[in-house]
Amino acid sequence: MSRIAGRRPAGSRGNCSAEKVFAEINGTRQGMFIQGTDPAHPVLLCLHGGLPEYFLTERYPTGLENDFTVVWWEQRGAGLSYSPAIPAETMTTGQFIADTLSVTDYLRDRFGQEKLYLMAHSGGSYFGLQAAARQPELYHAYIGVAQAVQQLRSETLAYEYMLERFTQNGDSRMARRLAAAPVSMAGGTPRAYLAVRDRAMHRLGIGTTHDMTSVLSGIVWPSLKSPHYTAREKLNMWRGKLSSGVSALWQDMLATDLAERVPELALPAYFLHGIHDYTVNYQLAKSYVDRLEAPLKGFYTFTESAHSPIFEEPGRARRIMREDVLRGRNGLADLPR
C-alpha cells in the first residue's frame, strides 16, 4: 500500500489524498486507488469499462472525492490487477460479479460501513448492474454511467452511424475500412471492426469524451505519463486492454439483453448518459430505464458529453450525486418525474 499525493480539483475542500491498495480478491491480487478528503464520507465503489480510469482524473477531475471516499477499483485482468497468470476461464461475467461483491465486502470491513454506493461505467455497468440486482442490500444506490444494455445492438447502431458520417465527410479510407468489416446482429463484431472502432469513434467525438479526437493523445499518452503507476503497471494496463476485446466477458456482453436479464432492481437506481455517446448507445439506455422497475429511478441526459459524463460535465454530475443520489430523490432527473 502506498500513499499518493492527489490532485486537488477546483472547488475542493480540505486535502485530497489517494492510496494505492492491493487486496486478495477471490484468489487474485487486485489493486485500487482510494481517493478522498474525509474517511467518514460514504464509500463510492467505481467500476471501469475496458480500461482503468483513475489516470483520467488528472486531466478531468470529478470532485466526487469531496463528498465520497471514491474507490477506483481496477478489475481482474486490468491495470493494477493484470497478471498473465490469471486463468482465462475466470474472465467471465459470473466471476466479475463475484469479484464486485467481494470487493464490496472488503470495503465495508475496511471503512466500517454497512452499505456502499456502486457506480459503474460502460463495460463495468454490464456486470455492475447484475451485482446490484443480486445483492441490493449491500448498496445505498446503483449509479450507471453510460449503461450498457444491448451492446451488440449498440455496436450495429454505432457502425451504421460511423459509416454514414465518414462517407459524407469524404474520409474514404476510414469508410472503406468500416465497409470491409460490417457489424450486424447476425454477424457480430468482426476483429477488423474492433481494430478500428476506437479510432473511428474518437474522430467523430462519440468516444471517451465529445472533445477527444485522438486515442493516442487523449488516452495512451496520459496513461503513460501518469505518476501514479509504475512502468510495469502502465505496461500491464495496455496488456489487459488488448486482451479485453476477446474475453468471454465481452462475448457474453454482446450476446445478452440486460433489459431481459435485469428487468427490476430492489434499490434506487440512477443513470447518467451523454447524448453524443455511441460507444454505449444513449437511446438504448434511456429506453431501458423507462421500462425498469425500481423503488426510485432517474435518467439524466448530459447534452455536452459523449461516453464519460462524470469527466466531461463534472459540475452537473456532482450536483446530481449530492442533491439526488445522497438524498435518495430524483428531482433533477429527465426521466421519470
Is the model's pLDDT at 12 over the cut of 60? no
In a domain, 235, yes or no: no
> 135 and 158 share a domain?
no
* Residue 128 falls inside a structural domain: yes
- Do 298 and 143 touch, CB atoms closer than 8 A? no
Based on the structure, what is the number of domains in the chain? 2
Based on the domain organization, do 145 and 163 belong to the same domain? no
Instruction: Kindly report the average pLDDT of the chain as a whole number.
Output: 92
Query: How is residue 188 annotated by DSSP?
Result: B
Q: How confident is the model at residue 323 (pLDDT cuts 50, 70, 90)?
A: very high
Owning domain of residue 174: 153-227
CB-based contacts of 38, cutoff 8 Å, min separation 6: 14, 69
Residue with cell 452499505: 115
Q: Read off the pLDDT of each residue in 204-218 and give the average, rounded to a whole number.
A: 94
State residue 8's pLDDT score.
35
CATH code where residue 309 lies: 3.40.50.1820
Q: Mapping DSSP to helix (H, G, I), strand (E, B) and coil, where does residue 257 land?
A: coil
Q: In whole angstroms, how far apart are CA 75 and each of 199, 273, 334?
A: 24, 22, 31
Asked whether residue 296 is domain-assigned, the answer is yes
pLDDT at 336: 58
Q: Based on the domain organization, do 256 and 117 belong to the same domain?
A: yes
Whether 241 is in a domain gets the answer no
φ and ψ of 207, to 5 deg: -100, -135
Cα–Cα distance, 209 to 203 (Å, whole number): 11
Distance between CA 91 and CA 99 in Å, rounded?
A: 11
| Same domain as 165, residue 112 | no
Residue 257 forms part of a structural domain? yes
Residue of 172, 141, 128, 178 whose CA lies nearest to 158: 178
232 falls within a domain: no
Which pLDDT band, with edges at 50, 70 and 90, does 13 fall under? Answer: very low
Q: Are residues 159 and 145 both part of a single domain?
A: no
- The pLDDT score that the predictor gives to residue 16 is 74
Q: Is 118 helix (H, G, I), strand (E, B) or coil?
A: strand
Where a domain ends, among 167, 193, 227? 227
Confidence of residue 5 (pLDDT cuts 50, 70, 90): very low
Please state the rounded mean pLDDT for residues 98-111. 97
Residues 122 and 11 in one domain: yes
187: left (phi over 0), alpha (psi -120 to 50) or beta: alpha
Same domain, 83 and 214: no
Say whether both 141 and 160 belong to one domain: no
What is the Cβ-side half-sphere exposure of residue 250, based on CA atoms within 13 angstroms? Answer: 19
pLDDT at position 48 is 96
Residue 333 lies in a domain: no
Angle at the Cα of 272 from the Cα atoms of 269 and 273, rounded to 5 degrees = 135
- pLDDT for position 45: 98
Could you tell me if 67 and 13 are in contact, meaning their C-beta atoms sit under 8 angstroms apart? no
Distance CA 149, CA 259 (A): 6
Indicate if 31 and 119 belong to the same structural domain: yes
The upper half-sphere exposure of residue 117, i.e. CA atoms within 13 Å in the direction of its Cβ, equals 25
Question: Could you read off the pLDDT of 239-261 as tens digits, one per residue?
Answer: 988 776 557 788 899 999 999 99
Check whether residue 22 and residue 133 sit in a common domain: yes
Type and span of the H or E element at 20 = strand 17-25
Q: Does 45 lie in the same domain as 142?
A: yes
Residues 6+ apart with CB under 8 A from 324: 270, 298, 330, 331, 332, 333
Assigned domain for 140 exists: yes
Which of the 8 DSSP states describes residue 66?
G
51 and 75 inside one domain: yes
pTM of the model: 0.93
- Which grid coordinates belong to 314? 463534472
